[in-house]
Amino acid sequence: MHTADATIFEWAQLVRAEYGEMPGLKLTDRQIQRLWSLDTALCDAVIASLISGRFLQQTRGDVYVHPDADA
């Protein structure tokens, strides 16, 4: 696994844990970026990873939620 891939994986695990601890959590990409102090490229990669893994979905309001959360 490349270093960049490992970093994305590690951050994605952290984001998963936070969403797991706070059911119903709704964050924009900017909020995710600020909350975890991610640069734009890394934030986008983490979000893309979580969406492709079907852990997060993007709502019409550009908010990222866990699909099982009450929208």
24-70, pLDDT tens digit by residue?
999 999 999 999 999 999 999 999 999 999 999 999 999 999 998 65
Considering only the top CATH level, what class is 3-65?
mainly alpha
Residue 19 CB contacts under 8 Å (≥ 6 apart), including other chains: 25, 55, 56, 66
Stronger pLDDT, 26 or 2, i.e. the higher one: 26
Q: How confident is the model at residue 17 (pLDDT cuts 50, 70, 90)?
A: very high
Q: CA 42 to CA 26: how far, in whole Å?
A: 19
3-state secondary structure of 12: helix
pLDDT on residue 68: 84
pTM: 0.86
Measured distance between the N- and C-terminal CA atoms of the chain, rounded to whole angstroms: 35
For 19, the token pair is 């969403």
